[in-house]
Amino acid sequence: MERNQETRLFDVIAHQLHCVHALTGLAPAAKLCARCYDCATCPYDQMLDDMAVIDPGLGAPLRVSAASH
């Protein structure tokens, strides 16, 4: 496959990837992933992480505040 075909195919696939947070219900269902699941560099993922309420005893997120929906 030529490089130009690969680039076009990647562009088509990338425009159909749903955000992992949409799949889990933390984001609107129509939200698409603009980073090809590279969540470590995603500002939306970081925003949700920042909004998570942490249980000090467990060190795990309990929920995301209602303002994110």
CA angle 39, 34, 21 (to 5 degrees): 50
- Tell me the per-residue pLDDT of 25-42, one tens digit each, with 9 for 90 and over: 889 999 988 888 899 999
Q: Which residues of the chain have pLDDT under 50?
A: 66, 68-69
Confidence (pLDDT) at 8 = 65
Instruction: Tell me how far apart the alpha carbons of residues 44 and 3 are, in angstroms, rounded to a whole number.
Output: 30
- For 61, the token pair is 């997120």
Confidence (pLDDT) at 69 = 47
- The pTM of the full predicted model, rounded to 2 decimals, is 0.56
| DSSP string of 25-40, one letter each residue | TSS-TTPBPSSTT-GG
